[in-house]
Amino acid sequence: MLADYVLLLFSTTPRRAKGVFNVLRGRRTVSTLFAGLTANCLELLDSWHGVDLETLMAVVATLEADQLLVSTTEGSWQLTLAGQKRQQQLQTTLYQPQAFQAFQTIDVRRFERVSQLALQVISEGAHAEKRYYPVTSDPGVQATVKQWLRSSRQPMTVLGKRLYETLNDFLTTLDSDLATIFVMGLTGYQLPGRTDQQLAEQFDRQPLEIWMIRKDLMCQWVLWIQQHQTEPLWPLLAPLIQATAISQSAWQTYQTFLQQPDVQVIARQRKLKLSTVREHLLETAILMPDFPFERLLSSAVVTQLTTIFQEQSDVASWQFQQAQDQLPELDFFWFRLFQIMRCRQEVSA
C-alpha cells in the first residue's frame, strides 16, 4: 500500500528519490526544496511528516525489483512502461489527497490534536459529563483548549450546537463515505471513535489509505475553517497559520533585499554569513510565485547561461560543471538562481 503511494510520486522523467521524499518529510534545505521544484511536488511539502526515509528508500528498491521503476542515473528513478500502467490504474482506484498543500503553511498536525481535544471537551460538556478520559495528556494542548473555552464565554450546550452546525455545513460538501469516515474517527460522549484499522475494515480499504483520507480531510477542514472565520474553532486555527511557506529568517532577508539588492550589504545588515544570505534568497526564489529574478540576475549572466544550456531542455539535469567550464568566475549561486528561474518558466508555460 505504501508502495502504491510512493509509485504515484514518480513520472516518465527521472526524479531524485531522496529529494522528493525529503520534501514530503518536511525538510526545508535549499537542495531539498530545489528537488521539489524540479519534480513539481512542492505543494506536498511536509505532508508525510514523520515517515522514515529508509523505509521509503526500501520501497523504491522493491518497486525497482518489481520492474515498475528504473534507475537512470545514481539516485534517480523513473517509471517503466509497466509502472506507467500501474500508476494510471492507481490514479483511479486509490484515494488521491486533494488538500495536502495546507501542510505548507499551516500546522495541520497541531490543529488535529488541539481540535480533537476541543471537540471531545465540548461533546462531553454538552452532555454535562464531567468524568471522562481526555484524548491527550499533552499539557500544551490541554492549556490551549482551556484558554479557548474560557475566552469563548459560551455554555457548553451552545458550543455543542454551533459545532454540530459548522461540522454539518462542512461535511455536506463531502462525499458521504468521506463524511462518515471523518465523523466515525471523532472522539466524544460515549463514542470513543474508530481506529484507522477498524475504518479500513468497514470501508474495505487499507489502513494506510484511511490514514491518507483522514489526513486529507483534516486539511480540507482546516481550509474550510480558514474561509469561515466566524466559526467557533477559528481562534484555535488562526495562530497555526503562516502567511507563507518561506521560513521567517529567509523572509526577513528577502525584505532587506527588496530595499537594496547587494548581497554583501544584506549580509552586513542582517549580521549573517554571505552563504546564509544566498541560501535565504534561493529558498525565497523557490517558494515565492513571483520572485523578481531580474533584480538579482544581471542580463549578461542570463544571456551567457541561456547560450550554454540552450540545447538542454531538462533543466533539472543541468550540471554546474558545464557552466563553470566556460565561465570560471561564476558562483554556484547564480547558476542555481538561473536554474530556478527556468524551472518556474517551464511550470508556468
Partner 1 sequence: MTDAELYHLLKVKYGFDEFRPGQLAVISQLLAGEDVLAVLPTGTGKSLIYQLVGTVMPGLVVVVSPLISLMQDQVARLNYQGEKQVAALTSQLDYGTKQRLLTNLSALKFLFVSPEMLNQETVQAALQQVPLALLVIDEAHCISTWGPDFRPDYRALGEMRQQLGAPRTLMLTATATEQVRQDILTQLRVPNAQQICYSVDRPNIYLGVQSLTDEAAKREALQRLVTTVSGPAIVYFTSKRQTDLIAEWLQSTTDLRVAAYHAGLSAEDRFKIQQQFMAGQLDVICATSAFGMGINKADIRVVIHYHLPTTLADYVQEIGRAGRDSQPALAVILYVPGDENLVRSLNDLTAATPNEIARDQQRFEHQLPPTTAVSEVLQFYWQRGVPVETVTDLFGQRQRTKERELNVLMNYVNTPTCRRAVMLAYFDEKAPSHTDTCCQLPGDALPLSALGLAVPIDVPAEPSVTWTQLLAQLFLPNF
Residues lying near partner 1 in the complex (CB under 8 A): 116, 119, 122-123, 126-128, 130-140, 157, 160-161, 163-164, 167-168, 171, 176, 179-180, 182-184, 186-198, 201
Closest by CA to 59, choosing from 132, 137, 4, is 4
Q: What is the DSSP letter of 76?
A: E
For the CB of residue 262, give the shortest distance to partner 1 in the complex, in Å: 36
The answer to whether 279 and 30 are in contact (CB under 8 A) is: yes
For the CB of residue 55, give the shortest distance to partner 1 in the complex, in Å: 13
Identity at 312, one-letter amino acid code: Q
For the CB of residue 226, give the shortest distance to partner 1 in the complex, in Å: 21
Q: For partner 1, give the closer residue by CB, 133 or 264.
A: 133
* Three-class DSSP category at 306: helix
Supply 266's cell numbers.
Answer: 544584506
The answer to whether 246 and 128 are in contact (CB under 8 A) is: no
Give CA–CA dist 32/240, Å, rounded.
Answer: 24
The answer to whether 45 and 36 are in contact (CB under 8 A) is: yes
Angstrom distances, CA of residue 286 to CA of 82, 326, 340, 344: 33, 26, 7, 8
Q: For partner 1, give the closer residue by CB, 187 or 339.
A: 187
Q: For partner 1, give the closer residue by CB, 36 or 185.
A: 185
Q: For partner 1, give the closer residue by CB, 183 or 288.
A: 183
Q: For partner 1, give the closer residue by CB, 163 or 237.
A: 163
For the CB of residue 94, give the shortest distance to partner 1 in the complex, in Å: 21
Beta bridge partners of 16: 76
Our measurement of the distance from residue 246's CA atom to the centroid of its chain's CA atoms, rounded to an integer in Å, reads 12
Give CA–CA dist 284/269, Å, rounded.
Answer: 18
For the CB of residue 214, give the shortest distance to partner 1 in the complex, in Å: 10
Q: For partner 1, give the closer residue by CB, 113 or 270.
A: 113
For the CB of residue 325, give the shortest distance to partner 1 in the complex, in Å: 42
Q: For partner 1, give the closer residue by CB, 175 or 329.
A: 175
For the CB of residue 323, give the shortest distance to partner 1 in the complex, in Å: 40
Give CA–CA dist 149/226, Å, rounded.
Answer: 19
